[in-house]
Structure 1
């Protein structure tokens, strides 16, 4: 495989690789600009529209390496999916298409008239009454979803069906190694929730009653934090997916909300109320919650050095780091959101919006380390490069979509070419390359540039 060119590897992946399945797939970041698909366009014959032409492409998605993609297309009044170059069957409608983390698998809900079934890797499941969004394990080996038949909900894991209840499960997730799942359910309508960690055969289970009104799983899929009800009060519990019987219990409060867990699962934070007072709690430490309402989520500073958050209060927005001892940064903005830190925790960026009377659009900007960048009609996804020296975000302005690279003062270093659609950018591990998917007409391209 090492001797193959990137183009050859991509071609193998796009054609399904059935004969090459014994060979390891190259799942590293695709580091050359590559056209991954050309969607067939419509045509006119004698002035009349060809009814068999593709009329609409409602959804396109790339995985984070550029080696997996899909798009849904409407043709002849029906819908089909094209995944890594392979077209699926036509259906009356297609919902919730979900790409596996490695981009090599796809699952979606499909209707034929009013009959619903899940399609996984092109194979149709049984007709059911209702379905929920499918989930893949982090290693892409397993897929699970919820289905309802005869008034009962059950899990389907790798094609096998498990427990049936009248209530729906929620807040679902796999462990990092894909050997366990965590979810919340209740045995009857109106009953208290219970948190369950189970193996994929549903034989070895850990169950905690009255737990899971809120449940979050760390980004690395190793730890869980959840709220637990105790005699009219609430506490946060923490546990490992690998050892769920070892539970860490937090203090009791009147109520808890806005629970978050750090990417590595080592820290938790939330907003609590005690005796009518709002508190910000991080790893057991309490601080008075700032005036105003929380905007977005509480965000952990890398290196377990506290948290940052944004608030909005009567037209005044503010950035806070309550555990750092610093004063809040208050701005007269209409809105704020999407707070993010650099990997070393020294840089921060969030979005601001301030409308100028008489001016349409041009109201949203990135605030990098406290300094405002240029204004656009829409900005999304601000993120730092791995070395923390650049900020990258997507822009829509005057109907044009493109990626912007700025310095640590918010000034634009580079504005990338305009495209019809631009997908979330990713960085190469060494931080020297910036890559993202784009759509222009019928062409889907994985675009790679030097940062």
Structure 2
């Protein structure tokens, strides 16, 4: 990759100091998966009609979430005409409005945009940053020690890293990601309005920038956060490039096509796949090898198998849907479904699941179901987030029926193993590493509970 450039130094603008995040994440705290059912909070004033901090009732809880280990949570409460956050039991200042609350991976830090009247600032761990014109969503590093976001002041956008701001330009980024070791970031921006995008890889101090011009209309980062793939423009054609966070100057370039879309990268970063157009024909490209793309339109994304043995994808075409897998002799699973989506694989790659929808004439609801290894599960009004256990024996997903929400666990034939009790809200499930426990957050009235079940 050519065109390396050095940062001009840290600008004087400092928007917020990150309390705690520059230290070792969760030092002194157990950050493993919480394996005991626990009431983590009770929203004061939500049921009783009077808050714990003043006489006004909590009118609404518009946003809340749990960390994936169950040891962190937040909720936003509307009270007395204003909004406040409670994070891990700590109540923050009230604001006119609160946007984009984001938990760190370990659940111990929280950042959000907050308005006082029309004045905007980023709040990190309860501390107000400087008032700015605009803000973008904050991102925490994988180790939870760093936070990065973009802020606009004086008509220019700046990256703010752990409270320190970089030299800015007139445009904001549109894609972003951290490296696995949390030492680098990659993003896409433009130098000026109307200019082509550029892909940038840099250290957190913006002292060693590597840029790739006319690149990044699409950028994807591998699940292990080691490698990057992006679409690059070249003389009216398009190609895919690959590079690593560790050596961003070493770039692998793919062949030129009339168009490239639906770019995907494997979890380990070793493979890429995408749909390309050449001479009016659509092609499926996998690590440089071409094959015809089947009739129909790609639904969702190309999903790589975690075992590294190819990938799968869903296609919709004229009232029917199909599941395709790469590889010679791979069978095509065609079904007369109205819709499909949310394809996922087991860790060993031997099983797959996706959601199907098929409306029955004269029947309302009960049209969505999980399809596990080609076998349909029970039908519900809504199904979301099918996830395999680490040992690949079970699939868990959230379901809704007649306004009631609950967790469902099925076997590899799609048959229900257990259907959990109904809750007001149900959050995405997490399995223990040995697959013997299923954990997820729930809300019932004023109570927020981390629910843990033996399988």
Tell me the distance in 2 between the aligned counterparts of 1:322 and 1:233. Answer: 26
1:157 is aligned to 161
TM-score by length of 2: 0.92
1:350-388 residue CA offsets vs partner (Å, 9 max, x unmatched):
100000111110000011111111100000111111111
1:9 is aligned to none
After superposition, the CA RMSD in angstroms is 1.5
Does residue 426 (structure 1) correspond to residue 430 (structure 2)? The answer is yes
1:378 is aligned to 382
2:367 is aligned to 363
Specify whether residues 378 and 22 from structure 1 end up closer, same or farther in structure 2 by C-alpha distance, changes over 3 A only. Answer: closer
1:245 is aligned to 249
TM-score by length of 1: 0.93
8 Å Cα contact 2:47-2:446 kept in structure 1: no
Tell me the distance in 2 between the aligned counterparts of 1:308 and 1:338. Answer: 11
Q: CA deviation at 1:261?
A: 1.1
Residue 169 of structure 1 aligns to a residue whose secondary structure is coil
Number of positions where the alignment pairs a residue of Structure 1 with one of Structure 2: 429
8 Å Cα contact 2:25-2:145 kept in structure 1: no
2:215 is aligned to 211
Specify whether residues 173 and 313 from structure 1 end up closer, same or farther in structure 2 by C-alpha distance, changes over 3 A only. Answer: same
Does residue 59 (structure 1) correspond to residue 57 (structure 2)? The answer is no
For residue 281 of structure 1, the aligned residue among 274, 278, 285 is: 285
For residue 174 of structure 1, the aligned residue among 154, 174, 178 is: 178
Tell me the distance in 1 between the aligned counterparts of 2:31 and 2:25. Answer: 14
Name which structure has the greater RCO, CA cutoff 8 Å, separation 6+: 2
For residue 29 of structure 1, the aligned residue among 22, 33, 45 is: 33
Does residue 112 (structure 1) correspond to residue 116 (structure 2)? The answer is yes
Specify whether residues 356 and 134 from structure 1 end up closer, same or farther in structure 2 by C-alpha distance, changes over 3 A only. Answer: same
Q: CA deviation at 1:51?
A: 6.5
For residue 71 of structure 1, the aligned residue among 48, 69, 75 is: 75
Residue 165 of structure 1 aligns to a residue whose secondary structure is coil
Residue 363 of structure 2 aligns to a residue whose secondary structure is coil
Q: CA deviation at 1:326?
A: 2.2
8 Å Cα contact 1:42-1:55 kept in structure 2: no
Q: CA deviation at 1:327?
A: 3.2
Q: CA deviation at 1:167?
A: 1.2
2:7 is aligned to none
Does residue 346 (structure 1) correspond to residue 330 (structure 2)? The answer is no
1:5 is aligned to none
Write out aligned runs for 1:14-413 (5 A): 23-40=27-44, 41-43=46-48, 52-413=56-417
1:226-257 residue CA offsets vs partner (Å, 9 max, x unmatched):
01111111111111101111111111111100
* Structure 2: tracts of 5 or more residues without a match: 1-19
2:11 is aligned to none
Specify whether residues 97 and 275 from structure 1 end up closer, same or farther in structure 2 by C-alpha distance, changes over 3 A only. Answer: same
Tell me the distance in 2 between the aligned counterparts of 1:131 and 1:397. Answer: 38
8 Å Cα contact 1:306-1:324 kept in structure 2: no
8 Å Cα contact 2:25-2:143 kept in structure 1: no
Q: CA deviation at 1:430?
A: 1.0
Tell me the distance in 1 between the aligned counterparts of 2:153 and 2:27. Answer: 39
Which moved further from structure 2: 91-100 or 259-268? Answer: 259-268
Q: CA deviation at 1:322?
A: 3.5
Does residue 417 (structure 1) correspond to residue 441 (structure 2)? The answer is no
1:246-276 residue CA offsets vs partner (Å, 9 max, x unmatched):
1111111111001111122111111111111
* Structure 1: tracts of 5 or more residues without a match: 1-15
Residue 168 of structure 2 aligns to a residue whose secondary structure is strand
Tell me the distance in 1 between the aligned counterparts of 2:88 and 2:397. Answer: 27
